[in-house]
Amino acid sequence: MVTIKEIAKLVNLSPTTVSNVIHGHKGKVSAENYKKINLALKDTNYISNMGGRLLGHHGSKIIAVILNFDRRAEVNIVSDPFYDQIIGFLEEEIRKQGYFMMLYTSGSVVESLRLAAAWDIEGLIILGSLPEDAKKFIQQQQRPLAFIDTYVDESFMKDGFINVGLQDFQGGYDITKYLISLGHRKIAFFADGDHLIGVDEKRFLGYKQALSEAGINFQQKDFFALDYRAEKRHAFLKEISQDQLKNYTALVFTSDFLAADAINVFYDNGIQIPRDFSITGFDHNIFSEQIRPKLTTIGQNVNQKAVLAVDYLVERIQSKHAGQKINILLETELIVQGSTAKIPETV
């Protein structure tokens, strides 16, 4: 690997001058030498050694993407397409912005911050963080952070805070309202796990709001928690489909994955959608399209999420000061497909 020193020798100039050319400081170098050095750089296929940069704290050019470990455990089970997709988009945008992406999975904030320190990482993108972890990140932050889909208290959104999320409340509200507009009044809600947090909680609150506005009384029994393990989940769905669910005409799921999964379980047990239930998903990813009937769902632009998060982060890295807090919630879109139907007029 060629070094600046070697290039300097080659063109009979000093390393500083070479460095100036590399950094495009045109004003500091004569046009003639500028050209000569640039040629030499190309000829020798010069690459700057990142060790040198790191050591002088001149910027590592690394952005780390931190994935919450618990989420990841599931990802490998269900292959959560949201995470998969967004990682691809993040990598693309990080690369386009001239940075390198380090991917790190950890359940521990401390571990993630150690990584950031060791590599002098310029900024972190944090995916799927629980609220309490987000707080820890914010409190111990040494460098710019951008969260994706994280809800924290206003009080934690100080200057420098960045979050790019989705109007989850609105999405939950819209899709529930749509069901109500079809005549449904007995609408159950299904989520991943017992304790609703983050995006699922907002979607749930939107659902409740829509019920309430329509004068429908929500009861705790209308909420169903699904196990992340396929077998348990399937057994549970089968069981309730023969019992509790008989009271409902529509089922709202917090994700396309869960909705599609449920449709299959129902199908296997002779239940037809939307004849027996109207069902809705959330995300508008591959699962809502690769199921029959296709899901009525809430669309989001995952690419945009990734690009915005990276761009805000990079801006903050380069401006070198905190800047105002940013908490963008992207708009959602109701996608009506075949999994929902009007309730038949009954007398």
Contact set with a second copy (CB under 8 A):
1, 45, 47-56, 60, 72, 75-76, 78-79, 81, 83-85, 87-89, 91-92, 95, 100-105, 114-115, 117-120, 260-261, 264, 267-268, 285-287, 290-292, 303
**SS3 category, 165:** strand
How many Å apart are CA 319 and CA 302, to the nearest integer? 26
From the list DNA, a second copy, none, pick the one residue 85 interacts with, judged by a Cβ distance below 5 to 8 Å according to partner type.
a second copy
Q: Determine the interface stretch with DNA among 56-64, 192-200, 221-229, 318-326 (rule: CB under 7 A).
A: 56-64
Rounded alpha-carbon distances, angstroms, from residue 84 to 64, 87, 144: 16, 5, 24
* Closest to DNA by CB, 23 or 229: 23
Asked if 15 interacts with DNA (CB under 7 A), we say yes
Contact 333, 170 (CB under 8 A): no
Q: Give rounded-to-5 percent helix, strand, coil for the chain.
A: 50, 15, 35
Residue of 192, 201, 114 lying closest to 152 (CA atoms): 201
Among 24, 39, 43, 52, binds DNA (CB under 7 A): 52
Q: Least separation, in Å, of the C-beta of 105 and DNA?
A: 24
Minimum distance of a second copy from residue 26's CB (angstroms): 24
Please choose, from the candidates 131, 137, 135, 132, the residue with its C-alpha nearest in 3D space to the C-alpha of residue 116: 137
Q: Which is nearer to DNA, 20 or 340 (CB)?
A: 20
Identified binder of DNA from the candidate list 10, 19, 115, 236, rule CB under 7 A: 19
Q: How far apart are CA 284 and CA 305, in angstroms?
A: 14
Q: What angle, rounded to 10 degrees, do the helices at 4-11 and 31-44 form?
A: 120
For residue 236, give the amino acid letter. Answer: F
State the minimum distance, in angstroms, from the CB of residue 144 to a second copy. Answer: 17
CB of 60 to DNA, least distance (A): 12
Contact range with DNA by CB under 7 A, out of 50-58, 167-175, 187-195, 206-214: 50-58
Q: What residue 223 binds from a second copy, DNA, none (CB within 5 to 8 A, per partner kind)?
A: none
Q: Which residues lie across from 62 on neighbouring strands?
A: 100
**Candidate ranges 53-61, 84-92, 125-133, 320-328; the one touching DNA (CB under 7 A):** 53-61
CB 266, CB 63: distance < 8 Å: no
At closest approach, how far in Å is the CB of 14 from DNA?
3
Distance CA 98, CA 117 (A): 20
Told to check if 60 binds DNA by CB under 7 A, we report no
Phi/psi for 272 (5° steps) reads: -105, 140
We find the least distance from the C-beta atom of residue 12 to DNA, in angstroms, to be: 7
Three-state DSSP class for residue 291: coil
Q: Output the smallest distance, CB 155 to a second copy, in A.
A: 27
Nearer to DNA, 142 or 181 (CB): 142
Instruction: Phi first, then psi: give them for residue 336, nearest 5 degrees.
Output: -95, 120
Binding interface with DNA (CB under 7 A):
1, 3-5, 12-17, 19-20, 22-23, 27-33, 48-49, 51-53, 55-58
